[in-house]
């Protein structure tokens, strides 16, 4: 008796513990964490597990697993598919797989797509046969899974060109399929056709037919999910009204009739996405405003939507979502997470973040924060700064953290009026900001107090071709201010120097005279506004300086450069980087530099200090937030998530080079390719032409490997950091956007460029606006 | 009697509650708002906001322009609508047509009318073409101090119809025999106008004047639509100032400016009402 009781108790405890393991939210995979650096493209429930696939890898997961299980042999399928093309003795190339066989021309090749589609107990993967003019055939290849889990290629269904789309100029591509689902051996998906509008496709794999189903609605279908009994749920948005209206429609596949079930909530111009319907629970699950919602749905109508969890991933209308046991699982480009659908309601403690500035570290911080504070849910949405102004006016505590670009006029209003919570109590944030460049500290600190945290920054500067300008054209030096630059251009025009270099272009091929003129003037105006931002004393001289710049600009005879006045769509777009005279380039330790061009920080006029404008995005805490401490803790987590590259960009003391995470993987690719070529060359039956071609390819591959081994090790090398540090002292935060306010500045500048107003009138207009702002008390 | 009063109060109660919630309470709490410093801490600063405001050049400029525009627009509208009403009284055929047509601009949406005005007064528009044809220089109507002209004309065009209707109904109420007696007594047109017409339409005339002035004070959206937040100095109105302060989150200066202006308007209309009562007493 006692034995049976003990056994029963054990079984009970086991069941409870399994239940405990299954319940609760889970992070299944996260980009950059635990060695996961892949992009999940397809996800669905297969045989009681979650099956996910990228181009090269397949993963499985089931509740209770601590991580993803990689399916061995999936990557090899790509090569196996390419190997379905064989050539016979007289050079005829044939593709053969299962019952499908056809001849190919010399330019055609076979490649697999990332899209995996479950159909009952079969699994299919989309593939293409492509040639000179793009995709010619779309195939559905059956993937067989052996007892030990190893995948292999099975049969093949040729859809011909039914799933291709015309890109124009005779080039075709494969239509991408979104929200793919299967019913009764047919595949249903949304897809953009030649019309440019989303269509609803029915793909009959048995008969290799594609049909476009009739969608008799005015609105755009944003998302789709299976329902029950051969019906689909569609989310359709009518953008022609303000505010937009989002409806949930029931689509009967057989009769092609639509029933409007009711209106769905939306957030601004964002409709619910990542839909999935759980037939057993009668609930539709979706993501909106950074949260997961559930909505009772029946054929007669909708219930009340209920927010029950947060969603840290950034989603798009074609993000995939499934239900597995008690989890709503969603995959997006940055990871895969599961949310427990049995949670009755949202936890009391919620943190709301309005990520107006689209800062990635804010999203990345979610997991660290929620791990440390499991009692919180965090909703991250992307609103607009007009909401921010309204929130402050209403003294709303709804949003706890905002991110904002410093150029946005709302930020200076907030700083001036004190509508930001003090962050000085956080040692992490104080130390972090103190380690940043002085110009960044000046943006976020006032009267010695810290009010915001810079989380992203990028700078742009004028670059010039020293070899062309100094060495070949004979100018003494590169101009370091706009007046001298315009004087040099005026000299180039009057002396006809450019005619000796017909292959040289100003910014690149295809720029017309007006493009070059307006680009130069706009770049100069950006520098002018950056200079104005630097102090009150500059505002006093604004008009005089602008007149000097305009006079120098007007001295240039643009017509003498021989630039085209109209766009030449038939012309060649080929160019060499060493033939480009000027560019506006990003100044960053991470990004590619055009080696032929040299960054030149530009002053407005001779004798003034040159500046390089930096666009800064900051995060701050709402002073009316009722969860200030938690919000500050979140910012600390976000600060901790700054990438090595961002730290180097913003902090002059961070100078450790950054290794490339893909270095070993890429070297392996080169080594594998070299081994493959050597293997093919070992074949004594090769003809001369093929042997020469392979030998050339092998030499190229070895050369590229050597180059990569030398240069590819570092994402950010010592040399990159050293080059970037030269410009640190010139950087200044861009505070006023040229296009900001009511857009008058923009239209006035174009009136000047069109000759409708003179330089004096332009200067007077801009001066007037600045004066009025100053007198109002900016 | 008591129950009659009670039922009257009951009928008035919903309206009074709405008045309380949407006017009285915000009005009173706004005064308190104008006495704080405007930061999120909302510290009490007494009359400092009022001192700062009345020393601010742009507020004074906006106030001056608002008063000037209203002094130009209100009397012009009054005289024009009176003259037109008097003229329409004597136009028997098509009188109804003209009356209906005159009201159309009042009903048309401002943004639609503004688009028409933008085309008319554009640098290359019909108005400038006429000027060039007459041998004059083109004027930058929309980008300079000359913007006052299209603004005033637009004000007149929009509000003329409504004032016209009020004058027409007042003129129609004057008994015709009075004019007959006056003609028999040898009174000319001017004597009839100043002796009969104007005294008898005084209440309506006063109403038109007040409405014209109130509408003139509200001139802003046309200026903003054409010239943006920072138009020429001559058309920068008080509402431009308030709008700019709002976008800078300086709600305290917005409310301070609003109450300051409210006091001025109250004083002006108090004088006008006093004059009107004196005039009415004199006529009686």
* Domain contains A519: yes
The residue of chain B with its CA nearest to that of A420 is B40
* Domain contains A162: no
Cβ contacts (< 8 Å) between A765 and chain B: which residues? 143
Alpha-carbon torsion angle B187, B193, B198, B200, nearest 10? 50
Q: Does the CB of A744 have a partner CB in chain B at under 8 Å?
A: yes
| Residues with Cβ within 8 Å of residue A260, at least 6 apart in sequence | A247, A248, A249
> Distance (Å) from the C-alpha of residue A241 to the closest C-alpha of chain B?
18
In eight-state DSSP terms, residue A558 is G
Mean pLDDT of the region A591-605: 84
> Is the bond preceding A753 in cis, omega lying within 30 degrees of 0?
no
Q: Does the CB of A725 have a partner CB in chain B at under 8 Å?
A: no
Q: Does the CB of B232 have a partner CB in chain A at under 8 Å?
A: yes
> Distance (Å) from the C-alpha of residue A419 to the closest C-alpha of chain B?
6
What is the Rg, in whole angstroms, of the alpha carbon atoms belonging to chain A? Answer: 31
Q: What is the pLDDT of residue A269?
A: 80
Q: Does the CB of A476 have a partner CB in chain B at under 8 Å?
A: no
Distance of CA A603 to the CA centre of its chain: 33
| Residues with Cβ within 8 Å of residue B167, at least 6 apart in sequence | B81, B82, B84, B85, B86, B201, B204, B205, B208
C-beta of residue A515 within 8 angstroms of C-beta of residue A750: no
Dig out the tokens for A54 from the structure.
């990228």
Q: For B124, phi and psi rounded to 5 degrees?
A: -105, 20
Q: How many CB atoms are located within 10 Å of the residue A369 CB?
A: 22
Residue A22 has pLDDT above 50, yes or no: no
The residue of chain B with its CA nearest to that of A387 is B247
In eight-state DSSP terms, residue B240 is H
Cβ contacts (< 8 Å) between B41 and chain A: which residues? 418
Which of the two residues, A765 and A436, has the higher pLDDT score?
A: A436
- CA angle A427-A429-A433, nearest 5°? 115
Task: Give CA–CA dist A486/A745, Å, rounded.
Answer: 22
**B56–A417 C-beta distance less than 8 A:** no
Cβ contacts (< 8 Å) between B241 and chain A: which residues? 776
Q: Where are the beta strands (DSSP E) in chain B?
A: none
Where does A114-241 have alpha helices with state H?
none
Residue A5 has pLDDT above 60, yes or no: no
How far are the Cα atoms of A266, A701, B261, B263, B279 from residue B266, in angstroms, in the given order?
45, 87, 8, 5, 20
Residue A324 has pLDDT above 70, yes or no: yes
A772 vs B39, B230, B248: nearest CB: B230
> In terms of Cα–Cα distance, which of A315, A48, A57, A302 is closest to A178?
A315
Q: Does the CB of B57 have a partner CB in chain A at under 8 Å?
A: yes
Q: Does the CB of A18 have a partner CB in chain B at under 8 Å?
A: no
Task: Give CA–CA dist B274/A500, Å, rounded.
Answer: 85
Q: What is the pLDDT of residues A251-272, one digit of tens each?
A: 998 888 899 999 998 887 888 8
Mean pLDDT of the region A679-693: 84
Q: Does the CB of B41 have a partner CB in chain A at under 8 Å?
A: yes
Sequential pLDDT tens for chain B (284 residues): 556 678 888 889 999 999 999 999 988 988 888 998 877 677 899 999 999 999 999 999 999 999 999 999 999 999 999 988 888 877 766 666 776 777 777 788 878 888 888 899 988 899 999 999 999 988 888 878 899 999 999 999 889 988 998 998 898 888 888 888 888 888 888 888 888 888 888 888 889 999 999 999 988 988 898 888 888 899 999 999 999 998 888 888 999 999 999 999 999 989 988 888 887 777 66
Dig out the tokens for B61 from the structure.
């400029």
> In terms of Cα–Cα distance, which of A514, A588, A569, A570 is closest to A752?
A514
Dig out the tokens for B38 from the structure.
């405007």
Which of B128, B248, B251 to probe the A interface (max A CBs under 10 A)?
A: B248
Residue A224 has pLDDT above 90, yes or no: no
Cβ contacts (< 8 Å) between B57 and chain A: which residues? 775
Task: Give CA–CA dist B158/B76, Å, rounded.
Answer: 13
| Residues with Cβ within 8 Å of residue B156, at least 6 apart in sequence | B73, B76, B77, B80
Q: Does the CB of A396 have a partner CB in chain B at under 8 Å?
A: no
Cβ contacts (< 8 Å) between A413 and chain B: which residues? 247-250
* Domain contains A300: no
Q: Does the CB of A391 have a partner CB in chain B at under 8 Å?
A: no
> Distance (Å) from the C-alpha of residue B216 to the closest C-alpha of chain A?
23
**A742–B228 C-beta distance less than 8 A:** yes
Helix (H, G, I), strand (E, B) or coil at A406: coil
What are chain B's domains? 45-283 (1.10.3720.10)
Q: What is the pLDDT of residue A8?
A: 52
Which of the two residues, A147 and A467, has the higher pLDDT score?
A: A467
Residue A426 has pLDDT above 50, yes or no: yes
The residue of chain A with its CA nearest to that of B243 is A776
Residue A744 has pLDDT above 70, yes or no: no
Polymer length in residues for chain B: 284
Can you tell me which residue has the tokens 């990004």?
A591
Residue A18 has pLDDT above 50, yes or no: no
Helices (H) and strands (E) in chain A, counts: 19, 42
Residue A488 has pLDDT above 50, yes or no: yes
* Domain contains A341: no
Cβ contacts (< 8 Å) between B228 and chain A: which residues? 741-744
Domain region containing A539: 466-580+739-776
C-beta of residue A415 within 8 angstroms of C-beta of residue A442: no
Residue A6 has pLDDT above 60, yes or no: no
Q: Does the CB of A392 have a partner CB in chain B at under 8 Å?
A: yes
Q: Does the CB of A626 have a partner CB in chain B at under 8 Å?
A: no
Residues paired with residue A118 on neighbouring β-strands, in sequence order: A123
Contact pairs from chain A to chain B, CB under 8 Å: 63
Q: What is the pLDDT of residue A571?
A: 62
Task: Give CA–CA dist A118/A45, Å, rounded.
Answer: 9
> Distance (Å) from the C-alpha of residue B43 to the closest C-alpha of chain A?
12
With a pLDDT cut of 70, the percent of chain A lying above it is 94
- CA angle A99-A103-A108, nearest 5°? 115
With a pLDDT cut of 90, the percent of chain A lying above it is 35
A418 vs B39, B241, B247: nearest CB: B39
Q: What is the pLDDT of residues A623-677, one digit of tens each?
A: 999 999 999 999 999 999 999 999 999 999 999 999 888 888 889 889 988 998 8
| Residues with Cβ within 8 Å of residue A401, at least 6 apart in sequence | A351, A352, A353, A354, A362, A619, A620, A621, A622, A625, A631, A634, A635
Q: How many CB atoms are located within 10 Å of the residue A397 CB?
A: 15
B249 vs A414, A742, A773: nearest CB: A414
> Distance (Å) from the C-alpha of residue A107 to the closest C-alpha of chain B?
58
**A743–B248 C-beta distance less than 8 A:** no
Dig out the tokens for B111 from the structure.
């943004």
Which of the two residues, A571 and A727, has the higher pLDDT score?
A: A727
End-to-end alpha carbon distance in chain A? 86
Cβ contacts (< 8 Å) between A741 and chain B: which residues? 228-229
Q: What is the pLDDT of residues A382-410, one digit of tens each?
A: 776 667 888 888 889 999 999 999 988 88
| Residues with Cβ within 8 Å of residue A577, at least 6 apart in sequence | A594, A595, A596, A597
Count of domains forming chain A? 1
Half-sphere exposure for A720 (CA within 13 Å, toward CB) = 24
Q: Does the CB of B247 have a partner CB in chain A at under 8 Å?
A: yes
Mean pLDDT of the region A154-161: 91
Q: What is the DSSP string of B33-92?
A: HTTB--STT--B-TTHHHHHHHT-HHHHHHHHHHHHHHHHHHHHHHHHHHHHHHHHHT--
Q: What is the pLDDT of residue A318?
A: 61
Burial class from Cβ neighbours inside 10 Å (0-12, 13-18, 19+) for residue B257 reads buried
In eight-state DSSP terms, residue A99 is T
Q: What is the pLDDT of residue A593?
A: 67
Distance of CA A194 to the CA centre of its chain: 25
Q: What is the pLDDT of residue A454?
A: 97
Can you tell me which residue has the tokens 């591509």?
A173
Residue A510 has pLDDT above 70, yes or no: yes
pTM exceeds 0.95, yes or no: no
* Domain contains A510: yes
Q: Does the CB of B145 have a partner CB in chain A at under 8 Å?
A: no
Residues paired with residue A183 on neighbouring β-strands, in sequence order: A186
- Average pLDDT of the residues of chain A: 86
> Distance (Å) from the C-alpha of residue A353 to the closest C-alpha of chain B?
20
Q: What is the pLDDT of residue A153?
A: 92
Q: Does the CB of B233 have a partner CB in chain A at under 8 Å?
A: yes
**A389–B233 C-beta distance less than 8 A:** no
B58 vs A624, A756, A772: nearest CB: A772
Q: What is the pLDDT of residues A96-113, one digit of tens each?
A: 998 899 888 888 888 888
* Domain contains A664: no
B56 vs A413, A416, A777: nearest CB: A777
| Residues with Cβ within 8 Å of residue B130, at least 6 apart in sequence | none
C-beta of residue B119 within 8 angstroms of C-beta of residue B36: no
Report helix angle B95-107 to B57-89, nearest 10: 160
> In terms of Cα–Cα distance, which of A260, A23, A46 is closest to A145?
A46
Res. A758 pLDDT band, cuts 50 70 90:
confident
Residue A16 has pLDDT above 60, yes or no: no
Task: Give CA–CA dist A254/B96, Å, rounded.
Answer: 61
Task: Give CA–CA dist A591/A716, Å, rounded.
Answer: 9
| Residues with Cβ within 8 Å of residue B282, at least 6 apart in sequence | none
Q: What is the pLDDT of residue A741?
A: 47
Polymer length in residues for chain A: 778
For A112-128, b/e burial (b = at least 16 CB within 10 A) is bbebbbbbeebbbbbbb
* Domain contains A118: no
**A419–B39 C-beta distance less than 8 A:** yes
Q: Does the CB of A414 have a partner CB in chain B at under 8 Å?
A: yes
Distance of CA A26 to the CA centre of its chain: 24
> Distance (Å) from the C-alpha of residue A382 to the closest C-alpha of chain B?
21
In eight-state DSSP terms, residue B184 is H
A417 vs B236, B244, B250: nearest CB: B250
B38 vs A417, A741, A743: nearest CB: A417
Residue A572 has pLDDT above 80, yes or no: no
Mean pLDDT of the region A128-138: 88
> Distance (Å) from the C-alpha of residue B260 to the closest C-alpha of chain A?
17
Residue A175 has pLDDT above 90, yes or no: no
> In terms of Cα–Cα distance, which of A200, A328, A208 is closest to A273?
A328
What is the Rg, in whole angstroms, of the alpha carbon atoms belonging to chain B? Answer: 23
Q: What is the pLDDT of residue A202?
A: 92
Cβ contacts (< 8 Å) between A409 and chain B: which residues? 247-248
C-beta of residue A667 within 8 angstroms of C-beta of residue A705: yes
Q: What is the pLDDT of residue A14?
A: 44
Residue A740 has pLDDT above 60, yes or no: no
Burial class from Cβ neighbours inside 10 Å (0-12, 13-18, 19+) for residue B68 reads middle
Q: What is the pLDDT of residue A473?
A: 92
| Residues with Cβ within 8 Å of residue A173, at least 6 apart in sequence | A134, A135, A164, A165, A167
The residue of chain B with its CA nearest to that of A769 is B230
């Amino acid at each position: 008796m006692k034995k049976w009781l003990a056994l029963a108790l054990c079984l009970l405890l086991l069941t409870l513990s399994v239940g405990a393991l299954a319940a609760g939210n889970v992070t299944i995979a996260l980009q950059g964490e635990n060695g996961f650096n892949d992009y999940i493209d397809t996800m669905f429930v297969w045989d009681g597990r979650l099956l996910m696939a990228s181009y090269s890898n397949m993963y499985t997961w089931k509740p209770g697993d601590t991580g993803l299980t990689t399916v061995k042999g999936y990557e090899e399928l790509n090569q196996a598919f390419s190997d379905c093309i064989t050539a016979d003795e007289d050079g005829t190339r044939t593709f053969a797989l299962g019952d499908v066989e056809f001849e190919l021309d010399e330019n055609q090749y076979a490649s697999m797509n990332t899209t995996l589609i479950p159909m009952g107990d079969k699994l299919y993967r989309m593939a293409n046969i492509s040639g000179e003019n793009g995709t010619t055939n779309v195939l559905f290849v059956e993937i067989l899974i052996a007892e030990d889990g190893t995948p292999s290629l099975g049969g093949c269904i040729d859809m011909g060109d039914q799933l291709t789309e015309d890109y124009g100029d005779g080039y075709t591509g494969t239509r991408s399929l979104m929200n793919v689902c299967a019913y009764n051996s047919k595949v249903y998906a949304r897809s953009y056709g030649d019309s440019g509008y989303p269509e609803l496709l029915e793909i009959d794999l048995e008969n290799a037919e594609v049909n476009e189903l009739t969608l008799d609605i005015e609105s755009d279908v944003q998302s789709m999910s299976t329902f029950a009994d051969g019906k689909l749920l569609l989310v359709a948005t009518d953008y022609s009204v303000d505010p937009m209206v989002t409806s949930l429609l029931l689509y009967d596949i057989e009769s092609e009739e639509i029933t409007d079930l009711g209106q769905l909530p939306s957030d601004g111009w964002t409709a619910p996405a990542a839909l999935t319907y759980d037939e057993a629970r009668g609930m539709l699950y979706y993501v909106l405003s950074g949260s997961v919602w559930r909505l009772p749905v029946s054929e007669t109508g909708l219930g009340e939507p209920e927010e029950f969890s947060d969603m840290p991933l950034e989603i798009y209308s074609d993000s995939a979502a499934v239900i597995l046991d008690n989890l709503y699982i969603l995959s997006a480009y940055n990871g895969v997470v599961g949310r427990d659908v049995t949670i009755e309601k949202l936890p009391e403690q919620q943190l709301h973040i309005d990520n107006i500035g689209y800062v990635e570290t804010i999203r990345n911080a979610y997991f660290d924060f929620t791990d440390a504070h499991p009692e919180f849910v965090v909703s991250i949405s992307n609103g607009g700064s007009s909401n921010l102004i309204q929130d402050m006016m209403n003294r709303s505590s709804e949003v706890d953290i905002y991110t904002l670009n410093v150029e946005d006029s709302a930020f200076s209003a907030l700083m001036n009026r004190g509508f930001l919570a003090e962050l000085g109590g956080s040692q992490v944030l104080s130390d972090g900001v103190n380690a940043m460049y002085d110009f960044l500290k000046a943006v976020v600190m006032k009267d010695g107090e810290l009010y915001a945290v810079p989380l992203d920054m990028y700078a742009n500067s004028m670059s010039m071709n020293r070899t062309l300008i100094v060495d070949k054209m004979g100018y003494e030096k590169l101009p370091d201010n706009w007046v001298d630059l315009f004087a040099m251009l005026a000299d180039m025009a009057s002396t006809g120097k450019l005619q000796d270099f017909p292959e040289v272009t100003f910014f690149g091929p295809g720029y017309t005279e007006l493009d070059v003129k307006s680009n130069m003037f706009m770049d100069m105006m950006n520098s002018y506004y950056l200079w104005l931002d630097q102090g009150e004393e500059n505002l006093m001289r604004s008009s005089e300086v602008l007149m000097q710049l305009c006079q120098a600009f007007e001295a240039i005879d643009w017509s003498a450069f021989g630039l085209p006045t109209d766009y030449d769509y038939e012309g060649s777009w080929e160019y060499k980087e060493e033939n480009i005279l000027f560019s506006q380039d990003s100044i960053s330790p991470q990004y590619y530099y055009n080696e032929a061009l040299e960054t030149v920080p530009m002053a407005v006029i001779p004798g003034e200090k040159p500046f390089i404008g930096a666009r800064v995005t900051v995060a701050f805490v709402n002073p009316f937030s009722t969860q200030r401490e938690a919000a500050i803790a979140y910012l600390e987590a976000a600060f901790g998530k700054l990438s090595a590259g961002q730290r180097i960009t913003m902090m002059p003391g961070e100078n450790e080079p950054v290794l490339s995470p893909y270095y070993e993987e890429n070297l392996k690719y080169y080594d594998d390719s070299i081994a493959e070529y050597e293997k093919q060359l070992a074949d004594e039956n090769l003809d001369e032409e093929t042997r020469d071609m392979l030998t050339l390819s092998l030499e190229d591959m070895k050369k590229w490997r050597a180059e990569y081994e030398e240069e590819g090790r570092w994402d950010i090398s010592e040399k990159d950091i050293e080059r970037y540090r030269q410009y640190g002292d010139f950087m200044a935060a861009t505070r006023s956007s040229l296009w900001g306010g009511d857009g008058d500045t923009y239209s006035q500048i174009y009136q000047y460029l069109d000759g409708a107003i003179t330089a004096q009138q332009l200067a007077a207009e801009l001066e007037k606006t600045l004066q009025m702002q100053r007198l109002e008390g900016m | 009697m008591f129950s009659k009063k009670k039922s009257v109060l009951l009928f008035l109660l919903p309206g009074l509650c709405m008045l309380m919630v949407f006017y009285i309470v915000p009005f009173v709490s706004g005064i308190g708002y104008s006495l704080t410093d405007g930061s999120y801490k909302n510290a009490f600063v007494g009359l400092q906001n009022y001192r700062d405001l009345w020393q601010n050049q742009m507020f004074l400029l906006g106030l001056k322009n608002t008063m000037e525009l209203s002094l130009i627009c209100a009397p012009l509208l009054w005289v024009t609508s009176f003259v037109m009403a008097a003229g329409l009284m004597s136009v028997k055929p098509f009188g109804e047509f003209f009356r209906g047509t005159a009201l159309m601009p009042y009903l048309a949406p401002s943004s639609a009318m503004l688009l028409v005005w933008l085309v008319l007064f554009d640098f290359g528009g019909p108005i400038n073409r006429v000027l060039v044809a007459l041998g004059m220089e083109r004027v930058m109507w929309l980008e300079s101090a000359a913007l006052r002209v299209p603004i005033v004309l637009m004000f007149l065009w929009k509000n003329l119809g409504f004032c016209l209707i009020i004058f027409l109904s007042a003129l129609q109420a004057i008994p015709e025999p009075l004019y007959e007696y006056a003609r028999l007594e040898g009174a000319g047109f001017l004597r009839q106008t100043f002796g009969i017409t104007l005294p008898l339409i005084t209440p309506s005339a006063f109403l038109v004047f007040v409405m014209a002035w109130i509408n003139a004070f509200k001139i802003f959206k046309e200026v903003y639509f054409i010239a943006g937040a920072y138009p020429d100095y001559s058309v920068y109105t008080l509402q431009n100032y308030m709008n700019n302060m709002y976008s800078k989150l300086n709600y305290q200066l917005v409310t301070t400016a609003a109450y300051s202006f409210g006091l001025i308007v109250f004083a002006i209309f108090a004088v006008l009402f006093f004059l009107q009562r004196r005039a009415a007493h004199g006529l009686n």
